Homo-oligomer: A and B are copies of this chain.
Amino acid sequence: MTTAKVRSQYHHGDLESALISTARKLVKQDGAEHLSLRQVSHEIGVSPSAAYHYFPDRTALLSGLGFSLFEELADFQEKEISKIPGNSARAARERFRALGRTYFQWAKKEPHLFNLMFGDLCTLEKVDQKNHEDARAFNNLTKCLDELYEFDLISEKMRPYGELLAWSVVHGATSLIIGGHLEPENFETTLDAVELALGIKR
C-alpha cells in the first residue's frame, strides 16, 4: 500500500522500505533494544539474511529507521502548524507554541521511537545525513522565531538565544516527561516559561 512498486514482484516486494516499515512497527511496540532482525524478516516472509543486502548491520537498520523518523516528526509538525493560518501576531504566537506542543505530542505518542531517535544508536554515525534531518525541524523553528520577531513579540536581547533555548527546553522537558522524571502536566507550564523567558507578550 505505502510501497511505490507494483505489488506482484515475483519473489520479493521492495524489501528496503518493507524492512524499515515493519521495523518501525516492532520498535514502536517493544522498543529498539528488543528489535530482532529475524523477527522482522519472518514478519515480511523473507529469509533472515535477506536484510543484509540493504543494511550492513542490525544497527544500520535501526539508524536508518531513526533518520526516517526525523522526517516523520517534521511532517507531523508542519501539518499541524499549517492548520493555524493568518499573518497576525496572535497566529505567530500560536504557531510557535504549536511547534513545541507537537514535538511533545509526537514523542508522547511514540516514546520508543523518540528514544531511538535520540538514543545511543543514532549518536555517532552518519553525521552528515543526520544534520540534514534535524536541520528541517531547526529551520521551522527559525522561521517561527523570525515571525515573532517581525511582530515585535520577542525581545531583541533574547532573540539570539531563541533557537537554542526553545529547542533545548522543549526537548529536555519532553525527554524528562517520557522518562517519568516529570509529570506530563508540566509541559504546558514549561511552554509558558519559554514564552516568558523569550519576552513574548501575552
Which residues of A line the B interface, CB within 8 A?
Answer: 31-33, 111-112, 115, 118-124, 127, 130, 134, 157-158, 161, 164-165, 167-173, 175-176, 178-182, 186, 189-190, 192-194, 196-198
Contacts and interface: CB of A to CB of B under 8 A. Distances in A.
B169 A176 contact: no
Contact of A120 (B115, B134, B190): B115
B164 A193 contact: yes
A172 B168 CA distance: 4
A13 to B, nearest CB: 29
Contact of A179 (B118, B165, B178, B198): B118
Contact of A192 (B111, B161, B172): B161
A164 B186 contact: yes
Contacts of A165: 169, 190, 193-194, 197
Given A165-B190, A168-B172, A196 B157 contact: yes
Contact of A115 (B119, B134, B194, B197): B119
Contacts of A186: 164
Contacts of A119: 115, 119-120
